Amino acid sequence: MARQSPKHQALLCEQPSDEGEPSAPPEPRSALLQSYQLYAVIDAVPVRRWKEFMRMLELREAEIELVELEVAHIRDQQYEMLKRWCQQTSATLDRVFAALERMELAGCAEALRQSLPVGP
């Protein structure tokens, strides 16, 4: 029942996370994940490896379990987990690619790179 519009979810994910961290190196805003990129990530990662992927991105286990309890459909769960990860960290495509490569899913990382051309 606590559904939010995709626009609202995208805004949540795009909020800057540098408050209280003045010593953190600044990242370009374009590096932050946007809503359409979240769906591309969901499409690139095999469903059976999804929880492992979220752990690799360092989303807490309690957060993963909470989403599984709160959200019924797997695709909605995936989006919610990514959204929460975005809210808690500096969510960048580089971190996503690194996680996929550590999981030995270089083919998935390459497919994601091709579906999301990164600008200069």
CA 74 centroid distance within chain: 15
**Mean pLDDT on 94-113:** 93
Residue-wise pLDDT tens digits, 18-74: 444 444 444 343 345 778 889 999 999 999 999 999 999 999 999 999 999 999 999
- Per-residue pLDDT at 12 exceeds 60: no
More confidently predicted of 90 and 49: 49
Three-state DSSP class for 45? coil
CA 30 centroid distance within chain: 14
**Mean pLDDT on 77-93:** 90
Q: Which domains does the chain have, with CATH numbers?
A: 35-115 (1.10.533.10)
Average pLDDT of every residue of the chain: 78
